[in-house]
Homo-oligomer: A and B are copies of this chain.
Amino acid sequence: MRQKPWPVGHRGKQDGKRAPGRPRSEQARQAILRSTLELLGTSGFAGMTIEAVAMRARVGKTTVYRWWPNKAALVADAFASDTIRQLHFPDTGSVRTDMSRQMRQLIKIFRSSRGRIVSAILAGGQNDKDLIAAFRARFLWPRRREAYATLRRGISRGELRRNIDKDLLLDSLYGPIYMRFLIQHAQLTPRFADRLCALVLAGARPHSK
């Protein structure tokens, strides 16, 4: 669905040449993405309107539509531009401590104002394959790649079974957090991360015969 030439981090023709004509306004681009995130946080995916984004960014509606074909693409880009930042996965020498820290980090994000944005994207993604794909590409996989490394270290240290299914394990660790985040049937506290981690990793130990 996202078909426009270089909606994200593009810097013009790659071949050294420049296209003729007025170059794209970087200022407008950033104002649009910023407004998108703000309104996403305020009104959610469904409540956010392109019209409001353009208005708030002091930009013509045309300029938004010129670069993003639809709301989902815009939101995905805005989210991506915001998320390109640290994902700090320390190596403390213990899988449990490492994973617990990561999971606390995620919970912190979910409970912050950016949580609203994440939930808006997950909600919008239920009707838009591209949006949920963008979420996976920009948010889920980068983190999970780090988590794989953490798990691998755990295996080599003998804290986890050699043949453990890493995706199964990571879903077991993160799934409950997403569930509580989205369904809100129980509190989502840092402490929950610890206890969850303890429960699940206990089932992943080598000698649990």
Contact = CB atoms under 8 A, between A and B. Distances in A.
Contacts of A47: 127
Interface string A115-143: 00001101111110000100110001100
Indicate the member of A46, A47, A141, A198 with the most B CB atoms within 10 Å.
Answer: A46
Contact of A200 (B119, B136, B200): B200
A187 B162 CA distance: 22
Interface stretch (A80-88, A106-114, A178-186): A178-186
Interface of A: 43-47, 119-120, 122-127, 132, 135-136, 140-141, 165, 167-169, 171-172, 174-180, 182-186, 192, 195-196, 198-205, 208
23 contacts: A44-B126, A45-B46, A47-B127, A132-B183, A132-B184, A136-B184, A140-B183, A165-B195, A168-B176, A168-B195, A168-B196, A171-B176, A171-B179, A171-B180, A171-B196, A172-B176, A172-B199, A172-B200, A175-B180, A178-B178, A182-B182, A200-B203, A202-B204
